[in-house]
Amino acid sequence: MKRTLLAGALALALAACATGPSGPPPLAAADYAAILADPTRPADDLKDDAARKPAEILAFAGLRPGETIVEMEGGRGWFSYLISKAIGPTGKLIVQYPPEFAYGDPAYKARVDGGQLSNATITKTHFDKLDAPDASADKVLWLLGPHEVWFVPKDTQGLGDPVRAFAEISRVLKPGGEFVAMDHAAVTGTPAKDSAQTLHRIDPQHVLDAAKAAGFVFVEKSDILANPDDDRTKSPFAPDLRRHTDQFLFKFKKPG
């Protein structure tokens, strides 16, 4: 009898390992092919796929159907659409961007009105005041945005305190939840405020230090968007560099 019970417990344990702690396994890069080719996807989104490598980036993030995801500084919703599709109808996406970034308003309105983000809630807050309950998110994604917390738009006091922003990420994550950060790399040693303000870049070390100070454990990095030919001295919006900057991609875990 004991052997039968032990065998049953082992089978359940192996099944849990196979599907992961949150249910189904994370999507692999190949799983995004259908999402990227979905006929409902806006035509303007398609042209950046080759340069931005969304399948590889979201596979690195390890998204699973049914998860709750907080996407910080969603921009115009390019990744929001893909995240929404990846987590599916049982998932929940909370998109955040600062109210000062008004360009996001018409972009997200168009996506919502077009039925693209049926599982999403759009929130407008500063980075240090995320509109999500404590320990509610499986993952927080901050893609091409961490430098913004050190950026001060004209006639403002800034978009949030950096220390409190990383603490907020920890607050909304479940124990064991993951934080994925990606950004344009600045020259090593450049002060965060300087590179953020003038070049919209950040020395990766500043993100590593801020995450560590907030209690996160570094998990891994990816060089999928690394570009050694970028000397990191130009703005990402420079015509000859746009979509081809040297970008870092980090994953962290909240202990617990």
Q: Residue 233 belongs to what H/E stretch?
A: none
pLDDT tier at 214 (50, 70, 90 boundaries)?
very high
Q: Is the pLDDT of residue 20 over 80?
A: no
Burial 63-96 (b: 16+ CB within 10 A, else e): bbbebbbbbbbbbbbbbbbbbbbbbeeebbbbbb
| pTM of the predicted protein model | 0.91
Mean pLDDT for 7-12 is: 39
pLDDT of residue 193: 97
Q: Residue 55 belongs to what H/E stretch?
A: helix 54-61
Domains detected in the chain? 26-253 (3.40.50.150)
Q: Is the pLDDT of residue 141 over 50?
A: yes
pLDDT of residue 100: 97
Burial 116-128 (b: 16+ CB within 10 A, else e): bbebbebbbbbbb
Q: Which of 151, 211, 145 is nearest to 183 (CA)?
A: 145
Q: Is the pLDDT of residue 234 over 60?
A: yes
Hey, how many other C-beta atoms are within 10 angstroms of the C-beta on 7? 10
Q: Which two tokens stand for residue 8?
A: 């049953």
Q: Is the pLDDT of residue 12 over 60?
A: no
Residues pairing with 185 in the sheet: 202
The DSSP secondary structure of 238-249, one letter per residue, reads: STTTTT-S-EEE
Sheet with 247-253, side-by-side order of all strands: 120-124, 92-97, 68-72, 137-143, 173-184, 247-253, 217-222
pLDDT tens across 39-50, in order?
Answer: 999 999 999 999
pLDDT of residue 21: 52
* Cα 106 to the center of its chain, rounded Å: 21
In the block, residue with structure tokens 């220390």: 163
Helices H / strands E in the chain, number of each: 10, 7
* Cα 238 to the center of its chain, rounded Å: 24
pLDDT of residue 11: 40
Q: Residue 126 belongs to what H/E stretch?
A: none
